[in-house]
Structure 1
């Protein structure tokens, strides 16, 4: 630790962000870096704990604690403090395949597990991480790593999201020949089409894909397994196959009026918006346009927040986000103790923008939609709701109860349903004959192997909907198992 008293001498400094009313006029990233000097000061706040909880990467009662990919955070914090940026990049790259992604869109459970966060604001780990990798690209330190030898083994990976890309990177560096199949027209999975441009500009994703191609990975786009190429053909051509298809089956709302024109699944909205932006800067009109309309987002998570931010940029008339749970507390509760990630009230980017434009936080809590109503042409015109209360039952479990007299009618021409994901779409797994348990592809963390010889799986398809950084961890782990499966002398440790 370069400065033993740094955590007492310096306060946490938040990364710079473009002002809400200015950034909603464009689709660029709203967050930017601090200066090198400011980040060196932030690195000095790291306590270099005897037990660095920030990089332990475990789950406690379903909540993430620390960094799932076990980043060596105190080490590169200290190197940044000392101005040794290239060495910091080397340390960061030892554990993290794609710091430019996690440094932008990871919710940073490492900061929630920072020892300093017990009593003070955590070290600015995420901002430091992003700056390390950005400086690496800017200074030419990130260059293609071409494997010296090839093993002759061929691996197919279906899906180019975080899990697929991480496993591809690891296996390619081990000398295996890797082919990644993606049904979309661009690689990246949810990194490309699931996360809006203002959080992760697609040039950042494309830059990494190009680097992976230069290193020898083959990307086959616009290719759907079972339609353009059969599962049997892949089995015949490859020594092992990894299914990294994510958990893309969205949960739907089934109620009166839910088939009205204007009711859409959230990811359909986000995907078409991003694709149109990338293809034509919206000139093609192939997206859902909420300009001048009343928008309601059902679902209180990050996907819902991204819908709010997207509608604001489209100049919607109004936007509201419904959540079934109470407003989160301002500080940790007794069942959300350190070192788990704090589940507390935050004014995320989308809500800050809505508050700046419309004068209030767009979130409504403890609210239940009872029906949707369309006009004579079948176009959505309003939503009916009732308030709920959360009750602790005699059995010790909570349940929700309607509050009589709280019925309300909301004008709405668009509704975006963002209530989570059920699991992977089952058409592809069925072609390989792999077992599905609890709507996920069945495989344990012991070997990531399915019931079919040579077929492996990782990421949200196996684990269920989770964080990008968990998907990357699963990609790293499945690569080890596949390397061991195809090799007499495994390389990945």
Structure 2
């Protein structure tokens, strides 16, 4: 431990965000790093705890606490403090294959579990991690490292999101020949098309994919297995198949006219079209769902809802409101939400911050649910009806949202974006391979051997467990790859 009193001597300091009104003019990443000399000081704040909860990756009250990848956080924090970036990268690389992703988009459950955060600001673990990998790329520490020997076994990974990439990377390191099938035109899955450019620049993803390709991983894009690619052909042609297709079946609203009225879109379609058009032509092709000049309603909170807010503002929407059916979170931890649980507190993310810079208020309307949608004579969305709710028990004793009489309201809207999460993996993939679903419509497989009911077919990530964090998907992708490797070597 380089500085035993560092957490007492130094305040937490993070990199700055570009000013909201300035960054709304483009889709560039908005968060900048600290200068390296200041980042070194932040490494000194690590307490080198006897029990490093930051790297535990355990569940408390159903929420992850600490890093699911079990990163060696105190070790590389100390190396950051000592300005030994090459050694810090070596330690980080032992547990995390893609720190350039997690260092940008992870919500940092490691920091929520940081012991320094028990009575003060947590260590800047996430920014330390991002600095390590950025310095590693800048200084040429990150190099392709193909396996010295090949096993002769072949594996097909279906899906190139964080779980699929992690599984492919690990299996390739084991010496197997890996082919990744991606239904979109670019690899990356959720990372490429589910997260906007301003949070994760797509060159960061393609840089990593290029290294994996140099190491021997083959990527096949525009390969929608179960549609334009035959699942049986893949089953016959590979020694093992890993389904890493994510939980991409979006949750819908159940109101009359939902499917007939034009102007209601799933957030995932809105975000994907925006990013694809941006990458293809910098929006010159107009092949995206535009919010320009429209009254926009975003239904749902979380990261996806925030991304819809930020993207709509960049389009130049006329107005925007974001509905959340839950109540407004508290500003500080409640007594029933103690450390090291994930803090269920009010979060103002980049999208809300940008809205507040423009309009001076938060765009979110809490305890609000949509009851009806209305169209004009041409079938275009015109307005939305809502009602306020209270969370209480109904006559059957079930806790849920109860409408508040007299709280009905009509909102003018030409564009509604549904950002209410996902219900499970898409059915056509499961049908193509003949795998069973669990009670939540995910691919049925356990977290020990990751096997499905179909011989030599495995499942991992959100496709198996449901919607989760990028860091959890990476962790599970690696774990499943170890199980597949064990299966192949046994065979």
Query: Which band: TM-score by shorter chain?
Result: over 0.9
| Aligned counterparts of 1:327 and 1:206: Cα–Cα separation in 2 | 38
1:380 maps to 381
| Aligned counterparts of 1:49 and 1:357: Cα–Cα separation in 2 | 43
Cα deviation code 1:404-436 (max 9, x no counterpart): 221111111100011110111111111211111
Give the number of equivalent residue pairs. Answer: 489
Q: Alpha carbons of 1:488 and 1:385: their partners in 2 closer, same or farther (altered >3 Å)? A: closer
CA apart distance, 1:392: 5.7
CA apart distance, 1:394: 9.6
Q: Secondary structure at the match of 1:436?
A: coil
Unaligned runs of 5+ in 2: none
Structure 1 position 467 matched with structure 2 position 469? yes
2:405 maps to 404
Report 1:23-422 matches (<5 A).
Answer: 23-259=23-259, 260-391=261-392, 398-422=399-423
**Normalising to structure 2: TM-score of the pair?**
0.98
2:450 maps to 448
| Aligned counterparts of 2:269 and 2:388: Cα–Cα separation in 1 | 28
CA apart distance, 1:400: 2.1
2:438 maps to 437
Q: Secondary structure at the match of 2:7?
A: helix
Q: Secondary structure at the match of 2:279?
A: helix
Farther-moved stretch of structure 1 (193-202 vs 54-63): 54-63
Q: Secondary structure at the match of 1:384?
A: strand
CA apart distance, 1:446: 1.3
| Aligned counterparts of 1:462 and 1:275: Cα–Cα separation in 2 | 27
Contact 2:14 2:33 in 1 (8 A): no
Contact 2:370 2:386 in 1 (8 A): yes
| Aligned counterparts of 1:453 and 1:69: Cα–Cα separation in 2 | 28
Q: Secondary structure at the match of 1:290?
A: coil
Contact 1:57 1:69 in 2 (8 A): yes
CA RMSD of aligned residues (A): 1.3
Cα deviation code 1:240-260 (max 9, x no counterpart): 110000001111112023231
| Aligned counterparts of 2:399 and 2:235: Cα–Cα separation in 1 | 48
Contact 2:292 2:317 in 1 (8 A): yes
| Aligned counterparts of 1:396 and 1:58: Cα–Cα separation in 2 | 32
Contact 1:256 1:373 in 2 (8 A): no
| Aligned counterparts of 1:400 and 1:420: Cα–Cα separation in 2 | 18
2:20 maps to 20
Q: Secondary structure at the match of 2:59?
A: strand
CA apart distance, 1:393: 7.0
| Aligned counterparts of 1:393 and 1:5: Cα–Cα separation in 2 | 54
| Aligned counterparts of 1:235 and 1:404: Cα–Cα separation in 2 | 56
| Aligned counterparts of 1:414 and 1:61: Cα–Cα separation in 2 | 37
| Aligned counterparts of 2:352 and 2:210: Cα–Cα separation in 1 | 34
